[in-house]
Amino acid sequence: MPMKTLMTALLLGTATLGQAAQIDPYGYKLPPSMQPKKKAPAAKKKGPPPVDYVGEFVNFGDWKEVRSFLDDVATRDGFERAELNTLMGQVRYLDSAVQLVKPAPPGKPKNWQAYSKLIVDPVRIDNGVKFWNENRDALERAEALYGIPAEILVGIIGVETVYGRNTGRFRVVDALTTLAFSYPEAPQRTERMAFFRGELEATLLFARQNGIDPLSLRGSFAGAIGMPQFMPSSVMKYAVDFDGSGKIDLLNSSGDAIGSVAAFLAAHGWQRDLGGPLVYAASVSPNRAWEAMINQGLTAKYRAPELTAAGVTTAVPVPEQQTYGLVDLQNGAEPTEYWLANNNFFAITQYNRSYFYAMSVVELGRAVRLARGGL
């Protein structure tokens, strides 16, 4: 099945994959003992969920950049230009999306402890225990197939949407069009607008291929979809039918969400043979030679002897065969926390390019595991 059709299937739940349902895009094949049991198709929902906003009509079709984009899309993808004009006449400008993607005000200090308290909270922990218990089989299969521990998968889905409770009620086309042509002033503004234009084009393609109204699609303020909040391009590349239903549905199928997150991490550098913790609490010396190791990209590049020589120490020995990155978690006016993170921690940052995000996934997953009675 073409990838764009596959992406639409996730949203609509209409694709039939047959044998392809048992093989994911990265060549992993489920052995017979791990094949999921077929499930009865879920009842169809009545129409799209309501939106959370009114939006502003700005007549995007009159914008020079939008007209040029639509000309290109019509030529490249064979759309009728008149149909695109009609669609743009119904798109709304979403100021809330613009405000939400703006960088933090200059001088406002980051605060990991405050951020962590918002994410690793009793609601997510309690719902995480329930999610883990209800989806234990899928989590065990994903760990066996991809090598991703259950607590990491539970952590990501919990951080993203509280296990499907907050998947977004914005019209995807409104959000993507607004950010594609009215992204706020910020570093790399041009690159960000190009990214959202690509996602908008993908949305138009899969809507056409499946005969649906693109305005019916719902997601986050940035156009992310389903329990794991995949952007459309990630849906095309990494989404898998993990529950054996014959279709991919990241909005309603916990199994598909679990398998797809695992496929994403496996494709972005997760190493099943690393073992041990992803992070180790670290102390740094006053000589500050270690400062050169901060902000060296989302990668683990230093070995334990190098870190020790620069004045970085840990309370417990770290495996010397692994490489690490030095992660700094700022706490506002309080002292910064330092951690050594291995390659699997940085695989999580490919999901969201933030130390805070990756650490919150690690801590939420660990909290849920302990709440279930795990060690």
Strand 312-314 and strand 279-284: the pairing is antiparallel
Q: Which of 113, 115, 93, 94 is nearest to 104 (CA)?
A: 115
Taking the C-alpha atoms of residue 130 and residue 66, their distance in angstroms, rounded to an integer, is: 45
Q: 363 an active-site residue?
A: no
DSSP per-residue letters across 169-184: -EEHHHHHHHHHH-PP
Alpha-carbon dihedral sign for residues 244, 245, 249, 255: negative
For the chain, the distance separating the N- and C-terminal CA atoms, rounded to the nearest angstrom, is 42
Q: Are strands 334-341 and 279-284 parallel, antiparallel or unpaired?
A: antiparallel
Q: Which amino acid type is present at position 36?
A: P
Residue 107 neighbours by CB under 8 Å, 6+ apart: none
Catalytic residue among 65, 140, 143, 160: 160
Structure tokens at 133: 């218990």
CA proximity to 50, closest of 220, 163, 218, 251: 218
Q: Enter the DSSP assignment of 331.
A: E
Long-range contact pairs involving 335-339 (C-beta distance under 8 Å, separation at least 24): 337/112, 337/281, 338/281, 338/282, 338/283, 338/284, 338/312, 339/279, 339/280, 339/281, 339/282
Catalytic residue annotation: 160
